[in-house]
Structure 1
Amino acid sequence: MKSIPNYHSYFNSGERKGYSGVATFSKAKPKNQINGFNILKFDTEGRVQRSDFDDFILLNIYFPNGGMSDERLQYKLQFYDAFLTYTNNLRDEGNNLVICGDLNTAHKPIDIARPKENEKVSGFLPIEREWIDKFLSNGYVDTFRMFNDKSEQYTWWSYRTRARDRNVGWRLDYFFVNEEFKDNVIDSYMLSDVMGSDHCPIGLKIDL
């Protein structure tokens, strides 16, 4: 991982090289920068970064994939629950939150090209999707759906089947904010034409 000129660069690498990790690059220097939940079994995978700014806390999260085994699915669900506890505690302290990252779950049938074929596949399992419902019911907003209710809007496509050429994808990447902060959101969008990964970038514009 490399720093970018004119940006403050922060990294959180997992212990297993090439497996997981997150990086945050910011022109404005955060007041505070923290890696992890302070929960060892999650923090060893380098999935969490917190950056404190004047008006909000940015959480940069790489959520686990549950597809390799039932053990990893349980790990993913435990991570989800720990994350919700963490964000609710931050809100209870009076903070606004901007949450971004690869959730590794498509929320609704509109968020996946082939919902019927993937009902028993991790990333679209009912138990995973129900957790997103629970998360939103706790007072969080899926910002993309504030502006775009169309289907066939995806952020990930499998390399193995050249799925991007046919737009057979999943919407796995999200920007969330707490409900109290949603009026500050000006736009939330995808940059689906940007290549270089099996994911495309997503963007969020906020008014402070």
Structure 2
Amino acid sequence: MKFISWNVNGIRACVKKGFLDFFNEADADIFCIQESKMQEGQLDLELPGYHQYWNYAVKKGYSGTGIFTKEEPLSVSYGLGIEEHDQEGRVITLEFENYYFITVYTPNSQSELARLSYRMKWEEDFLAYLKKLEETKPVIFCGDLKESQPSLTQEAKPKKKPIIICGDFNVAATELDLKNPKNNVKNAGFTPEEREKFKTLLDSGFTDSYRYLHPDTEKYSWWSYRFKARERNAGWRIDYFLTSDSIKDKIKDAEILTDVMGSDHCPIELDIDI
């Protein structure tokens, strides 16, 4: 299956810059966007053959995510179920028969790290959300499996569903993931705190698909609009496809589509047998 993720930095603006041309050319099974910057009813996006799911921020012109999928999911949920976090439209989760699919737009720690403490709380709650999804899911949706099915054998328990997560995580994981690491250690997106939280996420059972296939490649997915950064390729890799470790051997390809314009980010792609 082919998955695409793209921080479009405003879907209405991106549509005017060729979004639909790329969308139709990509022909992805699932296509995700982050930073939609719109409210319901502000854009009629016609995508024949796709089911559309949007999560809008309460604040106008801010944040927001969307997923467009050819296959209709078994269920859809929005946010983390925590009011503090769910005002900004940052998470959508689709459940399919064999896996969960999540798009996420992680909060930016902002200038002078004004939002770093909030970001740390978000990271902890997002990881807890993921681990809860990974729990064995019984036929009865509420209660403990052992209590609801005391005679159920280990072999008869339903298998855990793996998770695929994509989006803008607003962090460069290693020095390989940005052009000027030494000059950015104290800047949002490359602080020790943010990098440690991302490492904790990976260590909890997730694989960075691009780095899994390209362990030494320097390639970026975001460039500042200032100082001709994209022209000079002075960028950051902050957009990711992560998969549960249990399915990392099913990853066929992972790419960063640097030639696609229309945003300060470029799309990323995951091809996986699932």
Fold in common (TM above 0.5): yes
TM-score in terms of structure 2 length: 0.74
CA distance in 1, matches of 2:271, 2:230: 26
CA distance in 1, matches of 2:256, 2:114: 32
Stretches of structure 2 lacking an aligned partner (at least 5 in a row):
1-42, 137-159
State which of 125, 129, 139 in structure 2 corresponds to 1:86: 129
1:190 match: 256
Amino acid at match of 2:88: E
Checking the alignment, whether the CA contact within 8 Å between 1:185 and 1:207 is kept in structure 2 is yes
Matched residues, number: 208
Amino acid at match of 2:172: A
TM-score in terms of structure 1 length: 0.96
Indicate the percent of aligned positions where both proteins have the same amino acid. 41
1:132 match: 198
1:100 match: 166
Q: Is structure 2 residue 122 aligned with structure 1 residue 56?
A: no
CA distance in 2, matches of 1:146, 1:71: 33
2:75 match: 32
Amino acid at match of 1:108: T
Checking the alignment, whether the CA contact within 8 Å between 2:113 and 2:187 is kept in structure 1 is no
> What is the root-mean-square deviation in Å for CA atoms of aligned residues?
1.2
Amino acid at match of 1:126: P
Amino acid at match of 1:67: Q
The DSSP-based 3-state class of the residue aligned with 2:47 is coil
2:207 match: 141
Task: Identify the range of structure 1 (86-95 vs 44-53) with the bigger mean alpha-carbon deviation.
Answer: 86-95
Task: Identify the range of structure 1 (65-74 vs 194-203) with the bigger mean alpha-carbon deviation.
Answer: 65-74
Change (3 A) 1:70 1:192: closer
Deviation of the 1:151 alpha carbon: 3.9
CA deviations 1:43-72 (Å, max 9, x no partner) are 010000001111110010000000235441
Larger-gyration structure (1/2): 2
CA deviations 1:133-192 (Å, max 9, x no partner) are 111111110010111123430000001222000100000000001111112211111111
CA distance in 1, matches of 2:52, 2:224: 29
1:181 match: 247
Stretches of structure 1 lacking an aligned partner (at least 5 in a row):
none
Checking the alignment, whether the CA contact within 8 Å between 1:3 and 1:9 is kept in structure 2 is no
CA deviations 1:4-41 (Å, max 9, x no partner) are 22110110000111110000000111111111111001
1:8 match: 51
